[in-house]
Amino acid sequence: MNGGAQDAGSFDWIVVGTGSAGSVLAARLSERAGHRVLVLEAGGMDRNPFIHIPAGYTRTLNGDAVNWRFEIDPEDYTHNRVMPLPRGKVVGGSSSINGMLYVRGNARDFDDWAQMGNRGWSWKEVLPFFKKSERREGGDPAFRGGSGELSVSDMRDRFDLTDDIIRGGEELGYPRNPDYNGALQDGFAYYQVCQKAGLRHSAFRAFLKPALKRPNIELRTHALVERVVVKDGRAVAVEYRRGDRLERAAAARGIALSAGAVQSPQLLELSGIGDPEVLQAQGIEVQAALPGVGENYRDHYMVRKSWRIARPVTFNEKSRGLSFAGEVLRYAFTRRGLLTMTPGVVAGFVRTRDDLAAPDVQYHIVPASYDDPRTKALARTPGMTIGTYQTRPESVGAIHIRSPRADEQPSIRGNYLSVEFDRQALIGGMKIARALMETAAMRRHVAFEELPGSEVQSDDEWLGFAREAGFAIYHPVGTCKMGVDPMAVVDPRLCVHGVAGLRVADASVMPTLTNGNTHAPTMMIAEKAAHMMLKEERP
Ligand SMILES: Cc1cc2nc3c(=O)[nH]c(=O)nc-3n(C[C@H](O)[C@H](O)[C@H](O)COP(=O)(O)OP(=O)(O)OC[C@H]3O[C@@H](n4cnc5c(N)ncnc54)[C@H](O)[C@@H]3O)c2cc1C
């Protein structure tokens, strides 16, 4: 017994969380045969069938069986609405419930990280880690990986509406991009997806599940980590609760937190690592004063616009009645069709101003419209939706504990649209979306603009619509920022400043958002973390 906790063994490495990062990191660490690795996950196994059928996304997004279902605090900037922040609570973490879109970001994102003092994180230096994870057929081998564990495939179906919107992009001068994860990000293309033969390929399925065959790695599920035990400035063990038992596992070489951008900072604070004022307010003894823990929270804020489509060729009709029965059969026999679809079908990366060095707006385009875009409940009439977000926002929020318990969600303040720069980029992006639907390629499909409606014209009206209708789009990062400044939480080797034997490796270490969705760069971070950890261990 250890202060009330039962001894649960000792290991070389302990990894907390099996999400996009934790699954990659634990699997790679276990490749060193002599090392014993323990992986702890608060959720259970991925038995829920809606995880694996891609269109099941809409079910796991709203249900609570495999989802932490966090909520973002209401704020003036976004009309005091409570916004949801879903996170996967299951093996695979958010990679088991996400939209499966595979987007690495822009080369400049990583060059900027390096420029901030993060040596080793430039595009040239991170590219090999993106390639290492990936199994993709085709593509330029200078950029794409062919022999990794994660299957990155193309959409298994195409539609007139989505083919035409790519043509519409060309009419406006945006290129049709053969590979937005290759040499150039700009332009329009079908999304690349983390699917294998029409099923979701989560980080758990791709990396950790196969690694569990090794004798030196153990996964414990339903294990909610409550704190890291720090002794004389070194992280030595973790305490976690399984049912009503508190257990303690010790780590000889190190502990890595991969609990994600909401819960990695929460765990640091619960362990006495953070801003002393925040810790003391909850009666937690300070082990290391690190004012940056939980600060620098960034997320993409998406606004969806929709159009009524004149001819019924959208997901709205395919998801009803006999058509839907046909789609179910089609999926059962061919693993194609509506059930393989993701919440973005066509990607667009555009610059809202000519003087920009990289795209500043991204689109998720779907031949579908929703009664409630948040829950993804489809409307009864045919429609098309363009979700728009600014990719590199400067609006910054914070995530901090408001209780000393690991099972109570921290406070999440987003501050979306608090900075004028962000507002202007988003307004520019929404106007381009409208222009896309007015091109010759798209005009023939469109009956009328449903949301926001043609009466919205001035910048103030666009902004009012954005504040009222937008949502955080589930890409939280930055709360355990990597860097060398006083607000940094981890150094460029991902070691927590001031605490030996403790690392953070997940989306929370990104100092800024990448130009795109965050699953691919999070796996890259874990690949690089494992590489650095194993390299340091060489005699
Ligand atoms: C609904 C949704 C849609 C998205 N769509 C896309 C998309 O299409 N493309 C894309 O690139 N990105 C997408 N994202 C974002 C992307 O999935 C995340 O950025 C990425 O998965 C983050 O990985 P992570 O390892 O940091 O955290 P996670 O994958 O969230 O993993 C954290 C893990 O830690 C576990 N955990 C947390 N606290 C504890 C604790 N105290 N004890 C034990 N275990 C704990 C959690 O249960 C979880 O398994 C989406 C996310 C969501 C939620």
Q: Is 475 a member of any domain?
A: yes
Residue among 300, 445, 475, 497 flagged as catalytic:
475
Residue whose CA is at the smallest distance from ligand 1 atom 41: 225
Q: 21 CA to middle of ligand 1, Å?
A: 8
Q: Give a yes or no: residue 396 inside a domain.
A: yes
Cα(522) to ligand 1 centroid in Å equals 9
10 Å CB burial of residue 506 (0-12, 13-18, 19+) is buried
Rounded CA gap, 185 and 350, in Å? 9
Residue 527 belongs to a domain: yes
Ligand 1 pocket check for 93: Cβ under 6 Å: yes
Name the closest-CA residue to atom 29, ligand 1: 19
CATH of the domain at 518: 3.50.50.60
Is residue 1 in some structural domain? Answer: no
User: Does 483 sit in the ligand 1 pocket, CB within 6 Å?
Assistant: no
- Written in H, E and C, the secondary structure of 18-84 is CCHHHHHHHHHHCCCCCCCEEEECCCECCCCHHHHCHHHHHHHHHCCCCECCEEECCCHHHCCCCEE
Closest CA to 230 of 299, 287, 180, 312: 287
- Report d(CA 97, CA 86) in Å as an integer: 9
Of 16, 71, 83, 94, which is best to mutate to test ligand 1, by the most ligand atoms within 8 angstroms of its C-beta?
Answer: 94
Residue 314: give the domain boundaries.
6-536
List of the chain residues with pLDDT < 70: 1-3, 373-374, 537-539
How many CA atoms within 13 Å lie on the side-chain side of 507?
Answer: 29
- For ligand 1, whether the C-beta of 39 sits within 6 Å is no
Query: Is position 475 annotated as part of the catalytic site?
Result: yes
Owner of token pair 């014209």:
457
- Distance, CA of 35 to CA of 214 (rounded, Å): 11
Q: Ligand 1 center to residue 370 CA distance, Å?
A: 25
Compute the distance from residue 40 Cα to the ligand 1 centre, in Å: 15
526 lines ligand 1 (CB under 6 A): no
- Closest ligand 1 atom, residue 17 Cα: 34
Structure tokens at 85: 């922040």
Longest CA pairwise span in the chain (Å): 73
Whether 425 is in a domain gets the answer yes
How far, in Å, is the centroid of ligand 1 from the Cα of 53? 18
Atom of ligand 1 nearest to the CA of 267: 41
CA 476 to ligand 1 center in whole angstroms:
9
**Other CB atoms closer than 10 Å to residue 196's CB: what's the count?**
17
Q: Is 512 in the pocket of ligand 1 (CB under 6 A)?
A: no
**What's the length of the chain?**
539
Question: What spacing in Å lies between the alpha carbon of 336 and ligand 1's midpoint?
Answer: 26
- Atom 49 in ligand 1: residue holding the nearest Cα: 93
Number of domains, the chain: 1
Q: What is the pLDDT of residue 227?
A: 98
Give the whole-angstrom CA distance, residue 223 versus residue 406.
11
Nearest ligand 1 atom to alpha carbon 516: 11
What gap in Å lies between CA 152 and CA 517, rounded to an integer?
14
* 364 touches ligand 1 (CB under 6 Å): no
Q: What is the DSSP letter of 509?
A: G
- Going from the Cα of 262 to the center of ligand 1, the distance in angstroms, rounded, reads 9
Nearest to 522 by CA among 173, 46, 88: 88
**Start-to-end Cα distance in the chain:** 34
**Cβ of 515 less than 6 Å from ligand 1:** no
Q: How many CA atoms lie within 13 A of 503 on its CB side?
A: 27
- Interatomic CA distance for residues 378 and 320, integer angstroms: 10
Could you give the residue ranges of the DSSP H alpha helices within 155-252? Answer: 160-171, 203, 209-211
Q: What pTM value is reported for the model?
A: 0.98
Is residue 474 in contact with ligand 1, taking CB distance under 6 Å? yes
Atom number, ligand 1, closest to the C-alpha of residue 61: 1
Out of 15, 50, 98, give the residue to mutate to test ligand 1, the one with the largest number of ligand atoms within 8 Å of its CB: 98
| Assigned domain for 524 exists | yes
* CB of 296 closer than 6 angstroms to any ligand 1 atom: no
* 396: Cβ contacts below 8 Å, ≥ 6 apart: 295, 296, 297, 298, 415, 478
DSSP string, 264-278: HHHHHHHTTEE-HHH
What residue's CA is closest to ligand 1, atom 21? Answer: 94
Nearest C-alpha to atom 47 of ligand 1 is from which residue?
A: 89
pLDDT in the model for residue 61: 93
